[in-house]
Amino acid sequence: MPDNPTPRSREVTILNGPNLNLLGKRQPHIYGHETLADVEAACRKLGAELGLAIRFHQSNREYEIIDWIHEVRETAGAIIINPAAFTHTSVAILDALATCECPILEVHISNVHRREAFRHHSYVSAVATTVMAGAGTHGYQLALRHVAHLMG
Ligand code: CA2
């Protein structure tokens, strides 16, 4: 995979891993008050402004995330992924992402490097074009803006 792949379409897939369906409902001191539905709505609004078509998914099942990666691996302009706890455990998601030629943007709501040591290692970062952490749920919008920037 090239270090700086160019997006080949304006389709952006945003994937969210386990427990992110609870966003805004538990642990607001870590993850904030916005729900995942709020994040999706904000991404769709910004995507429309930037001329990007957004697919947005969340799953608590590793295989479902892998299947969504396979579905778009040849067509996506970019994949934005918050793998949540799978970040720190999943060689399978790493392997699926490694088959994609589009830019991969890894987003974490919290600054994982300020947290427990087990959150400091990410399997996904080995194939990510861009990694961002600690911007809260605004990180998803920063990632979308970066995709638009890469498209020129
Ligand atoms: O900071 C992030 O975005 C994380 O990917 C979130 C994961 C965590 O395992 C990663 O280390 C960092 C956890 C997602 C769980 O989301 C919840 C949201 C609200 C309430 C409970 C869990």
- Cα gap 15→37, rounded to integer Å: 13
- Which tokens sit at 13? 């897939």
Give the ligand 1 atom nearest the CA of 85.
Answer: 9
Whether the predicted model's global pTM rises above the 0.75 cut: yes
Does the pLDDT value for residue 143 go beyond 80? yes
Query: pLDDT tens across 62-81, in order?
Result: 999 999 999 999 999 999 99
Which member of 88, 108, 113, 140 is catalytic? 108
2 or 13, higher pLDDT? 13
Residue 1 pLDDT class (50, 70, 90 cuts):
low
* 108 Cβ closer than 6 Å to some ligand 1 atom: yes
DSSP E strands, 10-142: 11-16, 53-58, 78-82, 104-108, 130-133
**Residue at token pair 């934005």:** 80
The yes-or-no answer on residue 33 being catalytic is no
* 31 Cβ closer than 6 Å to some ligand 1 atom: yes
Please report the domains of the chain, with CATH numbers, ordered by start residue: 11-151 (3.40.50.9100)
Q: Counting runs of H as helices and runs of E as strands, what totals does the chain give?
A: 5, 5
- Cα gap 101→39, rounded to integer Å: 26
